[in-house]
Structures are given as structure tokens and as C-alpha cells.
Amino acid sequence: MHVFIAGAGPVGLSAAIALTARGHRVTIADRAMGVTSESRAVAVNHNSLGLLAPSGVAQAILETGETVRTVRIMKEDALLARLKVPGQDRRWPTMVALPQSETERLMETAFERIGGRVMWGHSLVTVSQTQAGVTATIRADDTGAETVIEADLALGAEGTHSVTREALGLRFEGRQLPTTWSLADITCDWPFAEQACAVISDEGTINFLITLGNGRFRAIGNHPDVLAVVESMMRIEEVHWSNPFTVQLRVASAMGKGRIAIAGDAAHSHSPVGGQGMNLGIADAYAFADAVDAGDLAPYMAERPGAARRVVARTDRAYRLLSSTSKGARIARDTLLRSAGFVTRLLV
Ligand SMILES: Cc1cc2nc3c(=O)[nH]c(=O)nc-3n(C[C@H](O)[C@H](O)[C@H](O)COP(=O)(O)OP(=O)(O)OC[C@H]3O[C@@H](n4cnc5c(N)ncnc54)[C@H](O)[C@@H]3O)c2cc1C
């Protein structure tokens, strides 16, 4: 099969690796000039590592990333629990922390090793299909020259503002959470023995800090000023990147139509609690590759919306519990947070 992929983020690259390794021809185009330089998703979970193992990417992630073994849970200034993350000694641990920029770099290297090449600097303009195949028009961003690509199937993995999703007329159903969140990558005087730390409060704020390796940490909060919270706990030496953002809870009305599918952020968006965004998309990519192998995208279109809805619902439930301000829910939350099982269920 000849498959056209729009978008070479972690999801497009995963699909490209899986399909090329299985003998399919892949044309993959991305409007950026190379992989992202932003750290974005920092958690690669057990499931993603298992899927990426045959390509060698999982091993490379393990060698480059940080296997977070313990998490400190605090309620404001008070220590609530010190949790050992279960399953971190398995061949593919429960979770490895690595900036997305590094994960994408390792994926691109693996793709090139098997003969692949991303057409960087090429934006998808439109995509359409007939019963016989798909036609994608891409535009070179420097010259404006358009190229028409004929393929058997197409995958839209261009993230939240997916041209493919629009071209298929699919709705992106859901809502935006009312608060502005903030994240920052910092170098700091990390005062704890644990490699990650969650700080909750009875006012509903959540802050999460996790190692990125090389003395760097990611801080994320469900309010506009996570740096102020970090500063109250430790000395910040340098802020490398900070970004306010809003959280969308959305699932596309379908994972595609006919010969054209969508995957990753093009198809779903949810609360960052549990770090599932990129991992769910990698699972989509491999499910898509299985469907291409079987010569039928119908199982992909039938099964993946359920997986997306489950993650959106689960992470939203966890978020509402963690940020709860009612007395009963706070007691339940504080009890659950002392259980390593709760943390694992969030991560995988
Ligand atoms: C600031 C930020 C912080 C984040 N933090 C976290 C986090 O802490 N934890 C977590 O789990 N997730 C996080 N995420 C989400 C995570 O980055 C995504 O879930 C993940 O990147 C999804 O991968 P994707 O390949 O589907 O989409 P993307 O990574 O968005 O990749 C899409 C690719 O498509 C390309 N593209 C877009 N339009 C076109 C077009 N028309 N033609 C061709 N190419 C196109 C883009 O250049 C990009 O390379 C964060 C995201 C952002 C933006």
C-alpha cells in the first residue's frame, strides 16, 4: 500500500515507522522545517514503549530518558505521601520522562534508518478520495509550489488544527476547560529525593513537577502562574521555556471516512493529567498500521473513538477529583493519592 501521512509529529512519525517497517510505501509531509524544539509531552508510557520496541526507538528512549521511580505528593507545604511508581523495573517501564523534542528526534532517526524521509516544509492544502484511492495536495512553504500525491490511503496527523479533519467534514466535539493553565521548563535547586512532585491544595490548584534529566524540570499547573508556586518551594536558576495554555476536552465525530483516517491530536484532546496525549496518539498510529496491513480501515474507525473517549473521560474524572474543593471529595482524593495504584492508573 502507498500511504500519505500529513504531519510528522510523534503520531505521524510512529505511523511512518510502523508502515515502512511492514513494507508499505510512505509519503509523509510536515509544514515545519524539522522536529519540534519544544519539550511538550514529557511522559512516554509502557504501552508506547512496547509499540515502539521493534523500531529500536523504545530502547533509545530508555537510554536517553529518566525512569521516574518515586513521586512526592504534597498538600500545600505538608507531605502527603511518597510513592514508588510500580513497574519501573520492567523491560518497558510504566513511564519514562523525556522531552517530546527528543522523542521525535529518536523517531526521525529510526525512520531514516529504514529508508524513510520526511518532506519538511510542506503543508497539506487539501485531501480527497475516490473509491480507488486518495489525492493529497501539498504546498512547499518556501516556493509555494504545489505537488499532487496519489496514494491508496491517507492519515491526517497534523495535530489539533487538522486540515484532514476539516476536509472530511468531521466535527471536533467537546468543550474547553474554563481556566488558563501554565507550564515551564526550568533549572532549579531541586530539594527533594523524589524525581517528581505533585502539589495539591484545598482551593483546587494542582501543580506537577517532573525531571527532564540534565538538571531540568517541567512544571505544570492548572492556573496561570506555576512559576510562583515553584518559587515558593525552591530557587529557580533559569526558565528555559514557559507557556500558558488552555485545555480542550474533545473527540472527533469519527476517526476518518473511507480511505482517509485521522490520529493523535487531530482526533482527540484531553486534560494533561496523567500525560496521556502523545501516548494515546502513538497507540492510534500503530492501530492504523495494523488496519493498513489488514487492508481494511473499518476496525480502526470503529475501535479508536472508544479508546479516545475512555481516556478523555478517565483523565477528566481524575482532574475533577484532584482539583475538587468539596470536603467529601477532598478526603477521598487525599486517601487515593496515598495509593501507588491510583498514580499508575493515571499514567497508563
Ligand atoms: C505547549 C504544549 C505542551 C504540551 N505538554 C504536554 C504534556 O505535558 N503532556 C502530554 O501528554 N502532552 C502534552 N502536549 C500534547 C502533546 O504535545 C500532543 O498530544 C502530541 O504532540 C500529539 O502528537 P501529534 O503528532 O498528534 O500532533 P503534533 O505533535 O501537534 O504534530 C502535528 C504535526 O503536524 C504538522 N502540521 C500541522 N498542520 C500541518 C499541515 N497542514 N500540513 C502538514 N503538516 C502539518 C505540525 O508541524 C506538527 O509537526 C503538549 C502540547 C503543547 C502544544
What single string gives the DSSP state of each residue in 75-106?
ETTEEEEEEEPTTTTSSS-SEEE--HHHHHHH
* Residues written for the chain: 348
* pLDDT given at position 340: 67
* Side chain identity at residue 174, one-letter code: G
Neighbours of 201 (CB within 10 A): 15
10-residue block means of pLDDT along the chain (348 residues)?
98 98 98 95 96 98 95 91 92 95 98 98 98 97 97 98 98 93 96 94 93 93 95 96 92 97 96 87 98 96 94 87 84 79 62
- Which ligand 1 atom is at minimum distance from the Cα of 7? 34
Q: By three-state DSSP, how is residue 343 classified?
A: helix
| Residue 206 alpha carbon to ligand 1 centre in Å | 23
* pLDDT given at position 251: 95
* pLDDT given at position 347: 57
Which domains occur in the chain, in start order? 2-347 (3.50.50.60)
Q: Strand 2-6 to strand 25-30: parallel, antiparallel, or no bridges (unpaired)?
A: parallel
Counting ligand 1 atoms within 8 A of each CB, the residue from 13, 98, 124, 158 with the most, and so the one to mutate, is: 158
* pLDDT given at position 244: 93
* pLDDT given at position 331: 84
Q: What's the rounded Cα separation, in Å, for the pair 92 and 95?
A: 8
Q: What's the rounded Cα separation, in Å, for the pair 67 and 56?
A: 17
Residue 256 in contact with ligand 1 by CB distance below 6 A: no
Q: Do the Cβ atoms of 83 and 195 come closer than 8 Å?
A: no
User: For ligand 1, atom 2, which residue shows the shortest CA distance?
Assistant: 40
Q: What's the rounded Cα separation, in Å, for the pair 87 and 342?
A: 13
Neighbours of 108 (CB within 10 A): 21
Residue 7 in contact with ligand 1 by CB distance below 6 A: yes
